[in-house]
Structures are given as C-alpha cells and as structure tokens.
Amino acid sequence: MLRPIDIHQMDFKQVFRGYNKEQVDDFLSRLVSEYETLYQKNQELEEQIEELKSQVKRYTSMEDTLQETLAYVKDSSSEIKDNAELIAERIIDEAKLQADEILLDAKRRVADEIRQAEEALAFRGRVRRRLETQLTQLLEEVKLLYDYEDESAAASASRNNDTKTFEHSVSAPPPETSKQVDLEVQTDDD
C-alpha cells in the first residue's frame, strides 16, 4: 500500500519546459496531507475492528465458562441441581441476551466502520479519477503546445527557404521538426 511518506519522497526529473516545480510541489504537499489523513483513518478503523474482534472473543469465552459452570451444577445433588438449573438458565438467557446485544452492537459498529471505509475508498477513487482526468487534459495540452511549436517552426523554415535560392539540391534529408513527448502515467489500482 502506498504510504504518505512515499508520495512525499517522490522525485520527478526536471526537463526543459517541464511542469512548474513549485506547482507540482504544492500539489504533492496537498496530496500527501489528504492521503495521510485517509491513511491514518484507515489505521484507526483497523485498530477498532481488532478491538471489536477481541470483545467478541471475550464474550465467546464467557459463554464457554457458563457452559462449564452448567456442567458442574448438573453433577451436584438433585436439590442443588434443580435450583442450579433455574439459575443457570436465567444466567444463560441473560448472557445470551447480553451477548446478542453486544454482538448486534459490534456488528453495527463494524458495519458503520466498513461503510465509512467504503466511503473513504469511494472518495479516494473519485479524487483519483479526477486527478487522472486532469493529468490527461494537461498531457493533451502539452502535446498541442508541442505540435503548435512544430508548426510554427516549420512555417518559419518554409518562409526562410522561399526567400533563398539554391543552385543545387541538398542530398541530406531535412531535420526532424516534430518533437515526440513520451509521458507515462503510473496508477496504483490497490
């Protein structure tokens, strides 16, 4: 999983007419801040889930203990047995009600935490799609800018060639006037 420190330490190579370094740094700072908040929230949710699992385990252990107590009482005398069965049934019913309430509450909490985590992931997905769209638009604008510069350079060269006369033809091919920009967008689909 991508950590906030990974984004913070990301280093981009500088190229001629590249992106504005200050804008990229500002954007990365904002991105690190927001991602760190989501990352910390995710960690908190994982800790809460572990705590809820621990509580469920404890209540399961309580139920096991109650079952052992019931078995001990059955081995006692008939009078104690009758009284103990009544008490044990009451304790079990109360424990089951309490366990049911606790489990229901734990399930509600887990469902709420899962819902919040899903909302956070959905938000992250929306932000990511928006950033990818903006990056794609920026890449298209850069390509158009390079194409425009190439066309301007070709037109200028053509005007210069029209005003000059050559007595013999040049056997070498003309220099390349188009610039190729290879930009790759890396995405994290985790």
pLDDT band at 76 (very low <50, low <70, confident <90, very high): low
Secondary structure (3-state) at 77: coil
Helix residue spans in 13-77 (DSSP H): 21-74
Can you tell me the distance from the alpha carbon of 25 to that of 123, in angstroms, rounded to the nearest whole number? Answer: 22
Residue 190 one-letter amino acid: D
Whether the CB-CB separation of 188 and 160 falls below 8 Å is answered with: no
121-164 pLDDT per residue, tens: 999 999 999 999 999 999 999 999 988 888 888 887 777 766 55
pLDDT at 41: 94
∠ Cα 13 18 21 (to 5°)? 70
Residue showing tokens 């928006």: 130
pTM of the model: 0.31
Q: Which residues contact 188 (CB under 8 A, 6 or more apart)?
A: 2
Is pLDDT above 50 for 36?
A: yes
CA 86 to chain centroid: 54
Can you tell me the distance from the alpha carbon of 136 to that of 138, in angstroms, rounded to the nearest whole number? Answer: 5
Secondary structure (3-state) at 14: coil
- Average pLDDT of the chain to the nearest whole number: 79
97-120 pLDDT per residue, tens: 888 888 888 889 989 989 999 999
